Structure 1
């Protein structure tokens, strides 16, 4: 549990750099000021105690307030969050040790401080994109997306390779990400390891 919490802490630090968000410690977890169209703030915690979970559930008081829990939920925890609406399930926190690799010639990298934005264009059209943020020796991969009409061409793998090349050039050693159900197949194929399941809920 302590190891997972430490990885969540490191992921939050990189994720907030990636999206230029403010965050603050909140109990054993975090409160992130997301300020996005989908949500205003998000509580993030790894395997919280039952009293701590009840506190966060009470604070998740509206649809624009989200709660992300990393780790398996027991029966009491599932009962505690039953009054919230699910946003995602079956996602996974994942990690890997990254090593130097060549930047693919068709991946365009643009740096913005500690963040790199990668993209692949096909005939002048955006086909795939992603970004990554440095935090100490970690790199957090974020928003890895392939445009629907360009899927199943290996472009997501190329974006990840390009961002990995940039990260290792900047002395990163560990990769972290939160994987959607659709993204897990890609990360599995790249040798990433699952840390813990994730569930995200929002207020009613």
Structure 2
């Protein structure tokens, strides 16, 4: 385990993980996620946070830095569908601590990168061009094909001295062309231009491989559960 100057703990592999995830990182990530998704900012809820998302398939989300009694008691109290509980813990840890009516989503990964990302020399193919958008401290980068089709897109929200990366997507028939890496480079340019170098995101299994290749590190496993209608 590595401890940086601010006391945040980083883990070099899954086997060395401990239970001391920083609530500062979790809250900043959640604020950035909320700004990116244009929903209300999180509020404190016991040892975690709550966001009223207001979507038909995600009414609200509760996020906890660690698996504890607050998380367990909430999972027993909620019986309505499409309220998500999320926690910095593994699927294997969460599974025996929730009632059987909850569905566990695929394993997620809370990741950080506190230095410039590692990029090879690259340029955008003449078959594509960039477009930019900005709202609520959130910057959107789009890579479009010459016919106007959206090939890749991503967002970075700047909050609490963190760059929160969100909705990093490359369409399937545009993958394996380096667009994801180029997109991440453009997003990092924006955050560095604003004096922000600390980066955080939550990745899927597939996305984790890309981010690790760019120098991101696994900070914590991240598990989501929901009661489906």
Q: Decide: shared fold, TM above 0.5.
A: yes
Inter-CA distance 56–176: structure 2 relative to 1 (3 Å threshold)? same
Consecutive unaligned residues of structure 1, counting only runs of 5 or more, are none
Number of matched pairs = 202
Deviation at 1:125, TM superposition (A): 1.2
Q: What is the 5 A alignment of 1:6-25?
A: 6-22=24-40, 23-25=42-44
Q: For the residues of structure 2 that align with 1:116 and 1:13, how far apart are their CA atoms?
A: 14
**Cα RMSD between the aligned structures?**
2.3
- Where structure 2 has 5 or more consecutive residues not aligned to the other structure, the ranges are 1-18
Say if 2:89 is the partner of 1:71. yes
| Structure 1 counterpart of 2:155, from 104, 116, 131 | 131
Report the equivalent of 1:44.
63
Residue 171 of structure 1 deviates from its aligned partner by 1.4
TM-score normalised by the chain length of structure 2: 0.80
Once structures 1 and 2 are overlaid, which stretch shifts more, 160-169 or 64-73?
Answer: 64-73
CA contact (8 A) 2:110 2:201 kept: yes
Pick the structure with more strand per residue.
Answer: 1
Residue 31 of structure 1 is matched in structure 2 by: 50
Change (3 A) 1:184 1:192: same
The answer to whether the 8 Å contact 1:88/1:201 transfers is: yes
Does the CA contact (< 8 Å) of 2:21 and 2:88 recur in 1? no
Residues 11 and 59 from structure 1, CA distance in 2 versus in 1: closer, same or farther, beyond 3 angstroms? farther
* 1:55-75 per-position Cα deviation (integer Å, ceiling 9, x unaligned): 220343222111111124676
1:97 corresponds in structure 2 to: 114
Contact 1:114 1:133 in 2 (8 A): yes
Q: Is the 8 A contact 2:35 2:136 kept in 1?
A: no
Provide the secondary structure at the position in 2 that maps to 1:89: coil
